[in-house]
Structure 1
Amino acid sequence: MKTRHLVSMGLAFALSAGTAQAVTLRVANQGDAQSMDPHSLNESLQLTFTGNVYEPLVARDKELGLTPGLATRWTQPKPTVWRFELRRGVKFHDGTPFTADDVVFSFNRAAGAGSDMQGYTNTFKEVRKLDDHTIEVETLTPFPILPDVLTQVYVMSRKWCEENKALTPVDRRKGIENAASFEANGTGPFRLKERRPGSRTVLVRHAAYWDKVEGNVTEVVFTPIGNAATRVAALLSGEVDVIEPVPLQDVERIKASPKLKVMQGPELRTIFLGMDQKRDELLFSNVKGKNPFKDKRVRQAFYQAIDIETIKSRVMRGAALPMALMVGPGIRGFSPDQNKRLPYDPEASKRLLAEAGYPSGFEVALNCPNDRYVNDADICQAVAANLARVGVKVNLQTETKVTYFPKILRRDTSFYLLGWTPSTYDAHNALSALMASPTDKGQGQFNLGAYSNAKVDELTLRIQSETDQARRNAMIREAFEAHAADIGHLPLHQQSLAWAMKKTVTLVQLADNFMPYKWVTLSEKAK
């Protein structure tokens, strides 16, 4: 395991002006950020963590609205051109000035080989510098939600990447690492002090940060604690200040503590199952010579075999909203009246399997993480048990996300669990990333089973360019109808957030599950 201790990089670690004393926030999560490279993995834990170090041109406020970040203003001089005026006087943590060259470099890096962020840039035709503090992004077609898309594309220093041989992102599929895996040099309110993958990562406040920081935290010690009981014990004993997520079975126990509190709320993430619909023969099944998932009857049989209400009540303890769509409430384009699941019906599932030529069912492997989503392994166990009742033998393979994500991103899977929060809070993101046919430009980058429907593809492109919201919503609705009629994926539920902390901690819980440390305050007494 590599350990990097990052010292000054030209600037001494210091407390921000006006801070009287050091304030350390200790955070525990069920998993770790897999890399410090902000373009290497499109996963919310990694993006929220590195988002304390790196910044986008367009940021989000406490209500998830758009707000200036490294760009102070953006305009649209042409339907396919967005112009961004960059913030002046900003410096990277090593003291290098932030300029348009860094933005052009970062956007091209995010669009390049090995990047997991190509879905954010696949609409780009060109990124060009007008002067040191102005850039333009020209898109292939009109793209009215481009500012929303850029909120999670972080800017890196071109000079630092060149000097540290980190010109391309860390490719999680191939396990190739570079300096950006373990070191960082952003413009954000915190800088990386220490990185021990899987063990501990330490951030400290950047004394020369360009903006005012609302919170009083000067150091963050982030510790991955995969075992749920151990994570809760660390909070109860006072070893950590915040844990996320809270094991659902421990919510009431933590609430009962006079020194602790639980924050719960809706999350924008939808949990679903995907199936390999491309290969002529599944990699991990006893069915030879054909792929049962290419048959809609098999996909529907799996769907109707899943007892979603029991998963909601027993596995999720009520902290889930069953979904029939790949997006849920809070996402632009979601229509509540479309959220009607096919009925749970094991007998119908058996009939469908028999009609498809599998009267005795078949075997298939299900890949699942055990430290990424709320009760993810338990969800997969419940699904496996449901499918067993209709004759399908599921060979369940659960593992840490450190090995899980590289595997499924290589499409080395037949049947998998994934969660998705559209970063734009717009349905187009889910259509483009999850449901549109995969291309080498980033479309369908997380459509890991290669589901393909020409109508969905056509509508996704039209939605991308449509500026009239009513017409756009109608097209989104039509695309979701086509996907649902195909049983393209198996939506499960929208999970809920549960964070626990000491009562002395004040923070902002966002529905995208991001936790900006600049908004965290620790007080001596509980409020």
Structure 2
Amino acid sequence: MKSFLKTSVACIAALTLTTFSAAAENVLKWGAQRDVVSLDPYSYGDTFTIAVLNHVYEGLVRYDDNLQIAPALATSWEVVSPTLWRFHLRQGVTFHDGAPFTADDVLASLTRVSDPASPLRGNLPAYQSAKKIDDFTVEVTTTPNYPLLLNDLTNIVIFDKEWLVANKAEAPTDVGKGVEGYATAHANGTGPFKVVSRKPDAETVFEVNKAWWDKPRHNIDKIVFTPITSAATRVAALLSGEIDFTNSAPLQDIPRLQASSDIKVLASNELRTVFFVFNRTDKTIASDITDKNPMNDIKVRQAMYQSIDIDALQKKVMRGLSRNTGSMVAPAIPGYVEALDSRLPYDPDAAKKLLAEAGYPNGFTFSFVCENDGYVNEEEICQAVSSMWARVGLKATLDVAPTSLQTAKFESGKFDVGILGWANEPMIDSYSILVQVVHSKTGTSGVFNWGGWKYPEVDALIDAAGKELDREKRLDFQSEALTKIKDDVAFLPLHQQPMAWATGSKVESLVQLTDNKPRHWLTKMK
């Protein structure tokens, strides 16, 4: 009997302790619009996925609270020659599995991300090779006089070489091509949180890394990340306390959220410019014009531009929260030129005249590929613009589906018109969009040149900018390149999209920067 009582008391005490510990935990419940595309940050150039995985993985350098470059896994660096950088690595750092961080891990990671099959290779456009000097010193060789290596490296995270080898994960994965591997569903970084469970499209749980090398500014024990695709459900979950944070508060629900005393809304414009891209190959993908591609005619592209009522789009679809633009980059991005920010006027009659001059008085049909879980109100944008185009005879066959399905279509050029958003991250410089989107597809350039557009004169300007150390001269090259593509209506800019975050009563403070990346290693819970 005494033994039974002792056992019962012990069980009750243990249960009470467990309950108290669970209650004492600071758990941040994060409700997002969609899931990450993979646990492999090299698998696709998706800003949101990389932002989430920055809680797990780290690079040699990072951006601080003012978006200035700061040391991370490298403590210092110097430029040895116009083609050589030397990095001194942080000692005493361990991966989540306890393995020590050394130069071998840096070399393995740079080899993996620069592989010709890597979707993220465009984030290191000047990288040539890397060499180990000793366990905590690495030298990186680049193309001559490349000015933006540190900016690039903020997005290149470091894997554990032994972990990659042990799990046969040295080769890169590719979401767009359906190439998966061990790193798709498993993670092992050096960052402030570690992945402890993963159910794709349902829930990913992160726990604090108590062995993190940096001094924590957060007080979070666990992050429960849940994709909630329904805007109404996401709002209801926030109001009821089922989630504590969302980085995608629906624009139409902001007044309702602001009316709640328990909810705090942080709304602003982010760096990302949203624009339309055109198939510029010889023939369309799905059109009643089969002998040529109308998108290659500047009059057609201008007609599509001038048939969009951007003010109506901003007011009705974006709830007045987007920033209309004629520029491909936001004002805060180096290389922005105010004169390029003016838009062609909305003029349906002029659009009809241009179409007639181009030989399409009755318009034509074409495929219009969009996502329903990508950019802010993207599906609504595409629906509204399709209706505007229809008024001038342009009949878009709207193809809307999740990112997971549309990525392959974009990467393989299976569209006539598509939508793309570019925040110029991690560079935070207009060279980013120029080298990855505008440049023709050669080597590490043009990774996001989905439509096969080619401008040799613009390529030459971009290439010149990529080896110019004088900042003003470099930006002049980039501004000239942006001017040329604007004059040719190579793309159809819409707006800098709004970012709207919301927190519940359990969140005391967090940091929101214009790159729209949550940084919960800076978040405090009450």
Q: TM over 0.5, yes or no?
A: yes
Moved over 3 A (4+): none
Q: Residues of 1 paired with 2:510 and 2:288: CA distance?
A: 50
SS of aligned partner of 1:45: helix
Alignment check: 8 A CA contact 2:124 2:149 kept: no
Report the counterpart of residue 289 of structure 2 in structure 1: 287
- The letter for the 2-side match of 1:107 is L
The structural deviation recorded for 1:332 is 0.9
Q: Residues of 2 paired with 1:21 and 1:210: CA distance?
A: 24
Which of 414, 417, 433 is the equivalent residue of 1:415? Answer: 417
Q: Residues of 2 paired with 1:239 and 1:210: CA distance?
A: 32
- The letter for the 1-side match of 2:73 is L
Alignment check: 8 A CA contact 1:34 1:46 kept: yes
Which of 211, 215, 218 is the equivalent residue of 1:212? Answer: 215
SS of aligned partner of 2:94: coil
Q: In the alignment, does 2:282 pair up with 1:246?
A: no
Alignment check: 8 A CA contact 1:308 1:492 kept: yes
SS of aligned partner of 1:330: coil
Q: Residues of 2 paired with 1:433 and 1:128: CA distance?
A: 26
Which of 80, 90, 96 is the equivalent residue of 2:93? Answer: 90
Q: In the alignment, does 2:460 pair up with 1:458?
A: yes
Report the counterpart of residue 41 of structure 1 in structure 2: 44
How much is the aligned-residue C-alpha RMSD, in angstroms?
1.3
Q: Residues of 2 paired with 1:289 and 1:500: CA distance?
A: 51
Alignment check: 8 A CA contact 1:26 1:241 kept: yes
Alignment check: 8 A CA contact 1:113 1:168 kept: no
Q: In the alignment, does 2:82 pair up with 1:79?
A: yes
The worse-fitting range, judged by mean Cα deviation, of 484-493 and 172-181 is: 172-181
Which of 273, 290, 306 is the equivalent residue of 2:276? Answer: 273
Report the counterpart of residue 108 of structure 2 in structure 1: 105
The structural deviation recorded for 1:410 is 2.3
Alignment check: 8 A CA contact 1:504 1:522 kept: yes
Q: Residues of 2 paired with 1:412 and 1:511: CA distance?
A: 32
Q: In the alignment, does 2:173 pair up with 1:165?
A: no
The structural deviation recorded for 1:21 is 4.2
Q: In the alignment, does 2:398 pair up with 1:396?
A: yes
Alignment check: 8 A CA contact 1:369 1:398 kept: yes
Report the counterpart of residue 296 of structure 1 in structure 2: 298
The structural deviation recorded for 1:337 is 2.5
Q: Residues of 2 paired with 1:181 and 1:125: CA distance?
A: 26
Q: Residues of 2 paired with 1:470 and 1:119: CA distance?
A: 24
Report the counterpart of residue 132 of structure 1 in structure 2: 135
Report the counterpart of residue 314 of structure 1 in structure 2: 316
Q: Residues of 2 paired with 1:176 and 1:479: CA distance?
A: 34
Report 1:321-470 matches (<5 A).
321-423=323-425, 424-439=427-442, 441-470=443-472
The worse-fitting range, judged by mean Cα deviation, of 242-251 and 402-411 is: 402-411
SS of aligned partner of 1:465: coil
Cα–Cα, structure 1 residues 167 and 395, in superposed 2: closer, same or farther, change >3 Å? same
- TM-score, normalized by length of structure 2? 0.94
Alignment check: 8 A CA contact 1:113 1:169 kept: no
Gaps (5+ residues) in structure 2? 1-21
**For each residue in 1:286-334, what CA deviation from the matched residue of structure 2 results, as whole angstroms up to 9, or x when unmatched?**
2112111111111111111111111111111111111112111111111
Cα–Cα, structure 1 residues 208 and 21, in superposed 2: closer, same or farther, change >3 Å? farther
Q: Residues of 1 paired with 2:470 and 2:433: CA distance?
A: 19
Q: Rg: which structure is higher?
A: 2
Q: Residues of 1 paired with 2:138 and 2:308: CA distance?
A: 49
SS of aligned partner of 2:266: strand
Report the counterpart of residue 14 of structure 1 in structure 2: none
Alignment check: 8 A CA contact 1:268 1:330 kept: yes
Report 1:145-184 matches (<5 A).
145-184=148-187
The structural deviation recorded for 1:159 is 0.7
The structural deviation recorded for 1:408 is 1.1
Q: Residues of 1 paired with 2:242 and 2:251: CA distance?
A: 20
Report the counterpart of residue 3 of structure 1 in structure 2: none
Report 1:112-131 matches (<5 A).
112-131=115-134
Q: Residues of 1 paired with 2:77 and 2:272: CA distance?
A: 28
The structural deviation recorded for 1:438 is 1.0
Alignment check: 8 A CA contact 2:143 2:467 kept: no
SS of aligned partner of 1:32: coil
Alignment check: 8 A CA contact 2:146 2:466 kept: yes
The structural deviation recorded for 1:112 is 1.0
The structural deviation recorded for 1:20 is 11
Q: Residues of 2 paired with 1:491 and 1:341: CA distance?
A: 9
Report the counterpart of residue 477 of structure 2 in structure 1: 475
Which of 128, 132, 145 is the equivalent residue of 1:142? Answer: 145
Which of 196, 199, 204 is the equivalent residue of 1:196? Answer: 199
The structural deviation recorded for 1:406 is 2.6
The structural deviation recorded for 1:412 is 2.0
Q: Residues of 2 paired with 1:407 and 1:156: CA distance?
A: 29
Alignment check: 8 A CA contact 1:40 1:114 kept: no
**For each residue in 1:381-404, what CA deviation from the matched residue of structure 2 results, as whole angstroms up to 9, or x when unmatched?**
111011001101111111111212
Q: Residues of 2 paired with 1:175 and 1:457: CA distance?
A: 30
SS of aligned partner of 1:368: strand
Report the counterpart of residue 513 of structure 1 in structure 2: 516
Q: Residues of 1 paired with 2:438 and 2:505: CA distance?
A: 42
Which of 503, 506, 512 is the equivalent residue of 1:504? Answer: 506
Which of 31, 34, 49 is the equivalent residue of 1:31? Answer: 34
Q: Residues of 2 paired with 1:514 and 1:406: CA distance?
A: 25
